[in-house]
Structure 1
Amino acid sequence: MLSFEQKQKIIETFPELTKKEISLNRLNYHYDESLYEKTIVVEKLHPNGNGFVYVGDLLKYESEVNEKGLVNIRDYNESKLREILEDAINYLSVDPDQPIIEKWTSKNGAVIELIYEKRSWNVYYEQNLEESFGTREAAVSYLQEDGFKRKD
């Protein structure tokens, strides 16, 4: 488990986050460029190493997230902490009503769309939803396993 100081040092490598001291020597880190009212990315980072990161309804964290959209980072290592911070900032930076669309093709010319919408990576063939993933990496892996390549 990382110490409070180690977590603080890692969090502060994200220049887009602003530190704010709160009660009981705890810290919050805000993302002031958030597209939403929610700006706190790291909540109640405590000197005992406990703290939370806001991930909202990201499918990737559905097994860890509480009802407020927070994940406890007490036992996170450096790579997991960096990853969740990047995901949280991206979550607050992307308008879910503005989908990201990628076209993928198979060797025989079939075209599939990979669309990021409503916090999920969805695979569509024609108008039909084929699969839904919590991360782009999982969706890309699925497409590549089926022989699809990104169409630029």
Structure 2
Amino acid sequence: MLTFEEKIAIIEEFGELTKKEVSLGRVNFHYEESLYDKKNVVYHLHPNGNGFVYAGEIEDYPTDDRGMVNIRDFSGDELRNIVRKAIDSLSSTPAEKNPVFEEWMNDGDFSLFLMREDDGYHVYAGEDLEGAFNSYEEAANFLEEEGFSRI
């Protein structure tokens, strides 16, 4: 297990982060350029080595209900990796992280395009917006109900 000082040194390698002293000797590191309300990347790093990194926007990390991962037993490489991914996840929009651009066609060879954009999923006929949806499933259901299938 890394010491508190070793964890601080690794996290300070990320010049994008701002160190904030909090109570009981704990330290937070903020990412002020976050595209989200969430700015804490490292939360309550404690002198006993316990602490958390925000991974709520990162796939493949089991998180608590706040989107945090406990880093108490992380190696140096694991800590660098999750901090980098956390910063990157707060630096890009959902559409940039997981882009969707699909063509759907009906039996009459008319095509529509399904795109993920910042505020959801949009269906276009050329440049004309045909529908806006909160989820991929809603958009796909709409297209299927209208007789379209993905090509």
TM-score, with length taken from structure 1? 0.64
- Once the two structures are TM-superposed, the CA of residue 98 in structure 1 deviates from its matched residue by 3.6
Which has the larger Rg?
A: 2
Q: Any stretches of 5+ residues in structure 2 without a counterpart?
A: 101-115, 119-148
C-alpha contact (below 8 Å) 1:52/1:73 kept by paired residues = yes
State the distance in 1 between where 2:46 and 2:97 align: 36
C-alpha contact (below 8 Å) 1:45/1:51 kept by paired residues = yes
Which residue of structure 1 aligns with residue 18 of structure 2? 18
Percent sequence identity is: 52
State the distance in 1 between where 2:95 and 2:64 align: 24
State the distance in 1 between where 2:50 and 2:20 align: 16
Q: 1:95 aligns with which of 83, 93, 96?
A: 93
Secondary structure at the counterpart of residue 19 of structure 2: strand
Which residue of structure 2 aligns with residue 74 of structure 1? 72
Which residue of structure 1 aligns with residue 83 of structure 2? 85
Q: How many residues align?
A: 108
State the distance in 1 between where 2:23 and 2:97 align: 39
Q: What amino acid sits opposite 1:52 in the alignment?
A: F
CA RMSD, aligned part only?
Answer: 2.7
- Once the two structures are TM-superposed, the CA of residue 60 in structure 1 deviates from its matched residue by 1.3
Q: Any stretches of 5+ residues in structure 1 without a counterpart?
A: 103-115, 119-125, 129-152
- Once the two structures are TM-superposed, the CA of residue 99 in structure 1 deviates from its matched residue by 5.4
- Distance 1:99-1:92 versus aligned 2 partners, 3 A rule: closer
TM-score, with length taken from structure 2? 0.64
Which residue of structure 2 aligns with residue 113 of structure 1? none
Moved segments of 4+, more than 6 Å: none
- Once the two structures are TM-superposed, the CA of residue 100 in structure 1 deviates from its matched residue by 5.8
- Distance 1:99-1:70 versus aligned 2 partners, 3 A rule: closer
